[in-house]
Each structure stands twice: as structure tokens, then as C-alpha cells.
Amino acid sequence: MKPLFQLTRSSMIWLLVSILMVMAPYISVVPSWLFVLAILAVGWRLMVYRGRWSFPHWSVRVGVMLLVLVGLLLELRQGSVMIVTVGLLIAAFVLKLTEMYRRRDALVMLYVAFLLIVCSFLFYQSIPMALYSVLSLIVVTACLNTVYRSQQNNDIWRPLKRSAVLYLQALPMMLILFLIFPRIGPLWQVDMNSGQSFTGLSDSMSPGDVSRLTRSAEIAFRARFDDQLPPEHLRYWRGLTYDQFDGRAWRRSDGLIAQSRTDAKPKRQALSGLPSTQTFSYQIVMEPTGQRWRYGLDTPLRYPAKLRQIEDLTLQEAQPLMQRTQYSLVSRVGAVREPLSDTQVAHYLQLPSEGNPKTRQLAQQWADEHSDIKGFTAQMMGFFARDFRYTLEPPLLQQSDSVDQFLFQSQRGFCGHFASAGVLLLRAAGIPARVVGGYLGGELNPVDDVLTVRQYEAHAWLEYWDKGDLSWHRLDPTSVVAPLRLEQSAAQLFSDEPSFLADAMLMRNGFLSGAFLKQLRQRYDAINYDWHRWVLNFHERQSGLLQRLLGDISVVNLLLLVMLPGALVLLLVAFNLLRQRAPKDDLLKALDKLDRCLTPVNLQRRQGETVGQFFDRLTLAFPALADEFEALSRCYERISYAEDSNPALRQQFKSRIERCCPLIAQS
């Protein structure tokens, strides 16, 4: 029979708290059925602890593990490899409870708990998460301390205090290493794009795709402007363009338009000559998207070397964005002069050979009535302004001739519907055009003047090319269908729509909109933004600090910089240990007092004599006090060897010696 590792009461309490704290950050990450498994495993272990059930047979454990593997493989079809891997780690973590026979099993479980705390930073990198992880580390370390304690030592709070003191003692060295130890890039890359892990625009757009983003209040990016803010009606954040239409959905090109702009400098010079344009300089802190494109205000003119501007004026990076990043831009708001070749013009006129005949006919009719593009676009915008309605819940459109159904039947849609129909009308009339996807607006935080753009502000508009001035012009049908969208925030405009912020009910119900709570949220957002910028810029700050401290940054200097503060900390610890004298146990103090009473009669405790032998010798020397010495011997054995922590026993031991000393003096 395997030796049973029986947890103490304090160990069981701290183990349950550790499991709860370690798994809490993964509630919205891993499949929910893993938490059901955790509840069952914890319940079974509690019943084993109380002696009502036995440990499950190995075949049961193997069967459950196989079911978990099957479940995680099914999740892999719609989740990322990283999420499934963490799910497997959590499953092993909780199932280990059902076979905790030995102390080493408990240690393995706690070591996995430490690993899960670290893994939580793969999904969250906020200040609250950092503080929560430190608290989790203290709790798990407290549980680790209780594993080595005996059954009689059931003090619940002492392990937590010792754990907290341990981390406080490690704090100086941690700060030294954090500030001066150089950051090393990852040795491997992990793709965490699951299709569900990120919220945002994708490389294809169907009529209802953009409206689905209004369910979410997640942050897309934050922007801080160096000087003036652009007016609300000019806050068009370009993300990507859609230039290929298959009759139902718009997609990005992988060929001609995806080529890198090799003549960026001449085109930027041409941009500067256009009238009625404004230039803005700003920094963006962008959240992970799992995609390569980056957002910028209207038309970026200057951008970091790591980014490239492709032919449709959007910005891209070589690798998908898997973690928060920061970059600086200079953008110009206004028309964009860009001569197009015949091949490019043909590309921006591409349409399916058939489909949506009523739309094509209407476009041709308007083209016959107007000889210039301005007249055509004015006719189109007037058409949208008459009977169309802007809504987050448009009716479903049929697979074929969906634009015809939208323009001539439902006449209800979101920005994607209008942009898609507008580009189709323009192209059918022989005017090059494309759909642009991005965001419109942003919430200004008065605490730090940072503009926060959330997912519910996702937007789509169109651009058409005028061969008269060889320029791209922005055209937003939303400006005539729902003009308040350009002047108000999406939260104000869509507050009555049932689907708006359906995934963020606290914000939808106004819980965070009250004056006091809103002010707290804004202050927290400001602190969070500064924290993110500090972390993102830490490498440059650290390099500057090392440059000031070392001058020449070399391996030897770095080692000295790490070792000298470390040696200083160790010397302080050693000095503190040498200076401190361990407090003498109160039992030994009582025995010393008894020794002093016995010194006149030369019966004090001899060197190498045990306490039991000492009291046996005193019993022979003082028969009248035999009962007292026998009681003292039993009391000492219970405290020292049976580890009875009852304070009454210690008090009883000291009281009996107090009574014996006067009686010995009288004998």
C-alpha cells in the first residue's frame, strides 16, 4: 500500500486558496469545462482528506485524462495552440490532486502553480495583473511552507506572514536585477492568434462584419498628440483597404496593391502641395491584433523604419502584432495626390462579371446625367440621404445581388453596407474606388489628453480617385445618413441599440458612466497608459541609465554592476544575521532559573544530561517534590517532542518551576 500524504488543515486551506487564485485569471481564456473539472477534483480531494472516499483508481484517472485530451483537441480547431497548451497544464494541475500520495506530489503541484502564475502574463500585462500575481506568489509560497509542517502545527496565518517577509527580503535584489539586467529578446516566437483571442478588423469585410465590433468595448489603440487634436469629424484612423469584390464580400489584394511603395519620398512631396490639408504629429500605443497592419490617422507621412507603407497608403509590419507596441507618426488629413497607372486604374474598377444588375443600371444612369465626378458623388450622397436608415441590426441580405437588396429593398444598414454599395456604384460608373476599414472617433481622457479608440468605434468609408486632380478623396456616406456619427461618439449615437456593447454590459448600463466612477476610470486609464509607455520604452531608459553608470557598456562592466550591488545586499544580510541573536526559548529560560535555584546545593543540570534524566535525578534528591518533577517532565516532552503548540502547556511548565524554586530553597 502506498504511503498516504495527509495534508494538515492549514495546508488544505492554503492549497484551496492557491488553486482558486492561480486559476482565476484564466476564466475568460480556457474552456469553461476545465473549471468544472477543477471543482470535481477539489471536491474529491476534500472527501479523501475527511476520510469518506478513497483515491480514484488509476483507470479512472487515465480515462479522465483521455477525455480532457479529446476535449482540448476539439478546442484546437477554433482556439490557439497556446490556449490549448495552457488548458492542458491546468488540467494536469487539478488532476494531480486526485493522486497526491506523497509530499513530492504536493510539491509538483505547487511548482506547476508557480508556472501558471507566470503563464498568465501571456494574456494580461496590466498593473492589476502584476499586483495580483505577486499576491498569488505569496499565497503559493505560504502553501509550500505548510507542506513541510507537522500535523500538530496548524497555525494558519504564520505561513502567510513568513512568505510575505521572504518576498520583502528579496525585493532589493529583484529591483537591482530589474533595473540593470539587460533585456534579452525571446529565443522563440509563439503564435497566439486564435481568431477569438483578438478583436478587430480582418482582411475581408462582409456587410455586417463591422457592426459586430460594436458589441465590444476593448481598446484598439491609444493616441497622444504632440500639439493640437484633430477635430472629431476628421478622426479617421486608416487600418486597411479592401479593393477586391466577389459580389458579396470585399477583400484585400495580395498582388499589385500589396507591393511596397518604393517611391514614398516623391509622393510625400506631392502631398505637401495640396490645399486644405492639416498635419498632425502623435504617438500610438496599439493593442495586439494578430495582424500585420498598423493604424494611423488618415494618411501617414512619416513612420518608423520597422513599418512600411504599401501602395494603398496603409502601414504594415513584417510580423503580426502579438504584443502591445508603440510607434510615432506624422499624418496629413486631406486629399491624397497619387497618379495611377492604367493597370492600377483597371484594378480599382474590378467588379464581378455579373450580379447586382439594378445597382449597375442606376450607376450608369447617374453617369449619363453627370459629366463630372463631383456631380456623380453628390447624386449618390443625396440618394443615401433620402430614405436610408443607419442601424447596428440590419436585416440579413441574400447571398446573390446583396447590394441590390440593400439599395432597393431593406435600405437599412451600418457603415459597411453604405461603403460597399458606394464603391460598387462608383466602379460601375467607371470611377476608381476602394473601401477603407478602420476607426472613427476616440474618447479623450481629460486627465492626460490621451485619445482612446475602442472596438465599438470601428468604421468603414470609401475613397474614390479623381483623374482631374490625380488624387484620392475620402467619401463617407455615414455623414449624410447619420451625420451625428461624425460629431458624437459611438456610445452616444448607439445607446438605444440593443446589440451595442452587448459584451460589455457594465459600460452599456452606465455603471462606469457616473461622475465619480467615470473619473476613477479615467485616472486608472491614465495610469495604465503611462505604465504601458514606461514598459515599452524601458529598454531605451535602461540603456541610458547603463550609459550614465558605466560609460562603456561591456560584459565585464555589466557583471560588475550586477555583482557589486548583489554583494552589498548579501553583506547587509550577513551582518544582520550576525548581529541578531536568536531569542532564547521560554522553556530554556525556565530551566535556567531552576538551575540557579539548584546551584547552592550543587544539583544543577549536568552537561549532556537530557531533561528527562535531569528531572529523574531531582526526584531522588527531593522526594517531596516528585509529583511536580514528574509533571514537568511530561509537560516538556509534550511540548518538545509531540509538538503540542497549546500555549497553556508552556504556561503550566513555567508556573510549576516558579512553585518548585521556593520549595527547593527551603529543603
Residue 459 annotated to the active site = yes
Residue 368's Cβ-count burial label (10 Å; 0-12, 13-18, 19+) is exposed
Half-sphere exposure of 356 (CA within 13 A, CB side): 31
Write out the three cell numbers for 245: 469584390
Instruction: Provide the β-strand partners of residue 236.
Output: 440
CA atoms within 13 A on the CB side of 227: 7
Is 644 a catalytic site residue? no
| Cβ atoms 238, 296 nearer than 8 A | yes
- Single-letter code of the amino acid located at 478: T
Q: Given 3-state DSSP classes, what are the helix, strand and coil percentages for the chain, each rounded to the nearest 5?
A: 55, 15, 35
Q: Are 269 and 259 in contact (CB under 8 A)?
A: no
Distance (Å, whole) CA 505 – CA 264: 45
Residue 181, phi then psi, degrees to nearest 5: -75, 125
Q: Which three cell numbers stand for residue 430?
A: 467607371
Active-site hit among 243, 312, 476, 525: 476
The single residue of 415, 417, 532, 660 carrying the catalytic annotation is 415
Question: How many beta carbons lie within 10 A of that of residue 90, not counting itself?
Answer: 24
For residues 276 and 33, what is the distance between their CA atoms, to the nearest angstrom? 58
Contacting residues for 11 by C-beta, under 8 A, at least 6 apart: 106, 143, 146, 147, 149
Distance CA 391, CA 329 (A): 33
Bridge partners of residue 125, in order along the sequence:
none
- DSSP states of 500-568: TTTT-HHHHTTTTTSHHHHHHHHHHHHHHHHHHHHHHTHHHHHHHHHHHHHSS--HHHHHHHHHHHHHH
Q: Give Rg (Cα) of the chain.
A: 36
Which residue is catalytic, options 298, 459, 525, 635?
459
Strand order in the sheet with 250-251: 204-205, 250-251, 244-245
**Separation CA 345–CA 470 (nearest Å):** 11
CB-based contact 530:448 (threshold 8 Å): yes
DSSP at 608: T
Q: Tell me if 169 sits within 8 A of 24, measured CB to CB.
A: no
Number of H helices, E strands in the chain: 24, 20
Give the span between the Cα atoms of 72 and 91, in whole angstroms: 10
Residue 641 and residue 337: Cα distance in Å, rounded?
90
3-class secondary-structure state, position 505: helix
Task: Write out the three cell numbers for 107.
Answer: 510539491
Choose among 88, 61, 62, 60: nearest CA to 74.
Answer: 88
Residue 30: C-alpha distances to residues 37, 38, 81, 85, 641 (Å)? 12, 12, 11, 10, 48
50: cell is 475527511
CA angle 214, 333, 298 (to 5 degrees): 40
Beta strand ranges found along 19-69 (DSSP E): none
Helix, strand, or coil (residue 592): helix
DSSP code at position 107: H
Tally of CA atoms within 13 A in the half-sphere of 145 that contains its CB:
22
> Which residues participate in catalysis according to the annotation?
415, 459, 476
